[in-house]
């Protein structure tokens, strides 16, 4: 590891950047001491983050953790991308209200390969250590597993929120699920990690690792959790960003493997307030640079749209390349800013009439995923934000018959819809 990278920023500057957007930090003092030791000794910290390869298609919400890992990596620290191929056979019970189906070895292997293809769009592959926890958990054996299980009581395990709720509601908890936090904690012992990263719902598991390391007379790892990223429809309410978490099932996500134009367009649809939240959590700009940009927008020196375009281009370039980001910006400007809605350039959507002669325009908009619901469609119609073949539509009772239409909602969403 290049020692120059370890010293390109002071421990204080590193602390500010790697902790941005942090929810839980155990403890700030420990992290400052570790960063100082690394800076003085030239020895990089071991930064661990574990991923169970059960969901191979990632979106920006999943990339929060990768972005924090990349910040550590850019400061010269050793990042361990841990694939939980052994623990995936159990299935992470975190946040579950029922026992999760276990994956087969073949499923784990296939998903792990997909993960590796996607995560290196954020992490530097040449500077990332990839490990599989089957390396040490397969060899733990029956005796080792029993000794590990003896380290925690049932009462302590039931302090975990999801276990506590399931126990209270008389919902089954399988014995193997209780082993999951212990196995994740043992990963930290095996890797001798200095810092473990995770989401807020992983706090209990991360604390188990910290405790197991103490019992092994090891310096306990610092644990850091980040927030759950809000989806594209989130809004600022009473000074706080409020909205559902980014989720494919809610269709409020940006997939890291989506086409560049789609990614860019989705990010341009967010509010200005949400843009700053995304800047803080996802951008490679430093906090100082983000603060300066925000001040320029507030003073009128920079237009909010220009700041949003810069963010959308940065994310598109990250998951594709610089040329794709530039072209996506150009296409976006051509399609929306200049109102050149070429049918060939628009996404296509097929909507079924279901045998009926017509369908309410509000329902067509919802079926084409231009609005979240028919109710939202009615609101957009009332606000004059809907166009059909370039003509403004305002009648909430409007119906469409079979045919092809160019539908536009607001300035940022449009599609070529075939109704049949």
- Report helix angle 260-268 to 322-332, nearest 10: 60
Mean of pLDDT values over 188-194: 97
Indicate yes or no: pTM above 0.85: no
User: Range of 271's domain?
Assistant: 258-337
Residue 253 lies in a domain: no
Q: Are residues 203 and 305 in the same domain?
A: no
Residue 309 lies in a domain: yes
Q: ∠ at Cα 309 (18, 317), nearest 5°?
A: 60
Q: Are residues 85 and 163 in the same domain?
A: yes
Residue 192 lies in a domain: yes
Q: Are residues 71 and 140 in the same domain?
A: yes
DSSP codes joined into one string, 158-170: TTSHHHHHHHHTT
Contacts of 347 (CB under 8 A, 6+ apart): 262, 415, 416
Residue 55 lies in a domain: yes
How many residues are recorded in the chain? 420
CB of 228 closer than 8 Å to CB of 72: no
Mean of pLDDT values over 113-142: 89
Q: Please, which residues bridge with residue 78 across strands?
A: 46
Q: Are residues 47 and 87 in the same domain?
A: yes
Contacts of 216 (CB under 8 A, 6+ apart): 189
Give the tens place of pLDDT for each residue, 274-308. Answer: 999 999 999 999 999 999 999 999 999 999 999 99
Q: 71: which 2 tokens?
A: 């910040």
Q: Are residues 323 and 356 in the same domain?
A: no
Domain termination site, one of 295, 310, 337: 337
Q: Are residues 384 and 323 in the same domain?
A: no
Q: Strand 403-409 vs strand 413-419: parallel, antiparallel, or unpaired?
A: antiparallel
Q: Are residues 100 and 167 in the same domain?
A: yes
Domain count across the chain:
3
Give the tens place of pLDDT for each residue, 38-60. Answer: 999 999 999 999 987 766 678 99
d(CA 333, CA 146): 62
Percentage of the chain beyond pLDDT 90 is 50
Q: Are residues 143 and 24 in the same domain?
A: yes
Q: 100: which 2 tokens?
A: 């999760």
Residue 132 lies in a domain: yes
At 1, the pLDDT band (50, 70, 90 cuts) reads very low
Q: 142: which 2 tokens?
A: 């029956």
d(CA 155, CA 150): 12
Q: Are residues 381 and 409 in the same domain?
A: yes
CATH number of the domain where residue 388 is located: 3.10.290.10
Q: Are residues 140 and 284 in the same domain?
A: no
Residue 233 lies in a domain: no
Q: Are residues 30 and 62 in the same domain?
A: yes
Q: Are residues 285 and 400 in the same domain?
A: no
CATH number of the domain where residue 262 is located: 1.10.240
Residue 414 lies in a domain: yes
At 95, the pLDDT band (50, 70, 90 cuts) reads low
Q: What is the largest CA-CA distance in the chain?
A: 76
Residue 244 lies in a domain: no
CA dist 180 → 106, 177, 186 (Å): 20, 5, 10
The residue written with tokens 């390349």 in the block is 321
């Amino acid at each position: 590891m290049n020692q120059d990278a370890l010293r390109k920023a002071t421990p204080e500057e590193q602390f500010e950047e790697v902790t941005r957007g942090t929810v839980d930090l155990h403890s700030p003092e420990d992290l400052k001491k570790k960063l100082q030791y690394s800076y003085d000794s030239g020895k990089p910290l071991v930064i661990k983050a574990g991923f169970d390869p059960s969901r191979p298609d990632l979106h920006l919400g999943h990339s929060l953790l990768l972005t924090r890992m990349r910040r550590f990596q850019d400061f010269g620290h050793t990042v361990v991308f841990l694939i939980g191929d052994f623990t995936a056979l159990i299935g992470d019970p975190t946040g579950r209200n029922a026992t999760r189906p276990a994956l087969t070895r073949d499923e784990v292997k296939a998903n792990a390969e997909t993960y590796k293809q996607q995560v290196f769009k954020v992490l530097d592959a040449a500077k990332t250590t990839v490990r599989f926890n089957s390396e040490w958990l397969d060899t733990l054996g029956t005796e080792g597993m029993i000794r590990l299980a003896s380290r925690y009581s049932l009462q302590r395990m039931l302090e975990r929120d999801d276990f506590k709720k399931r126990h209270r509601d008389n919902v089954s908890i399988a014995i193997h699920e209780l082993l999951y936090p212990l196995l994740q904690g043992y990963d930290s012992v095996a890797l001798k990690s200095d810092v473990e990263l995770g989401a807020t719902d992983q706090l209990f598991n991360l604390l188990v690792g910290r405790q197991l390391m103490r019992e092994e007379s090891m310096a306990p790892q610092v644990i850091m959790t980040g927030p759950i990223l809000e989806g594209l429809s989130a809004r600022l309410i009473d000074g706080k960003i409020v909205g559902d978490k980014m989720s494919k099932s809610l269709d409020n996500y940006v997939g890291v493997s989506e086409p560049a134009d789609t990614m860019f367009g989705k990010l341009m649809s967010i509010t200005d307030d949400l843009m700053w939240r995304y800047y803080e959590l996802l951008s490679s700009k430093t906090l100082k640079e983000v603060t300066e940009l925000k001040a320029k927008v507030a003073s009128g020196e920079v237009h909010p749209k220009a700041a949003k375009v810069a963010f959308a281009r940065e994310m598109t370039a990250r998951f594709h390349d610089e040329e794709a980001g530039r072209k996506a910006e150009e296409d976006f400007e051509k399609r929306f800013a200049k109102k050149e809605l070429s049918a060939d350039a628009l996404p296509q959507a097929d909507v079924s009439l279901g045998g009926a002669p017509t369908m309410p325009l509000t329902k067509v908009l919802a079926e084409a995923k231009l609005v979240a619901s028919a109710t939202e469609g009615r609101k957009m119609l009332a606000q004059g934000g809907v166009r059909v073949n370039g003509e403004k539509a305002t009648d909430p009772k409007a119906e469409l018959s079979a045919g092809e239409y160019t539908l536009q909602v607001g300035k940022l969403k449009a599609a070529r819809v075939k109704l049949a």
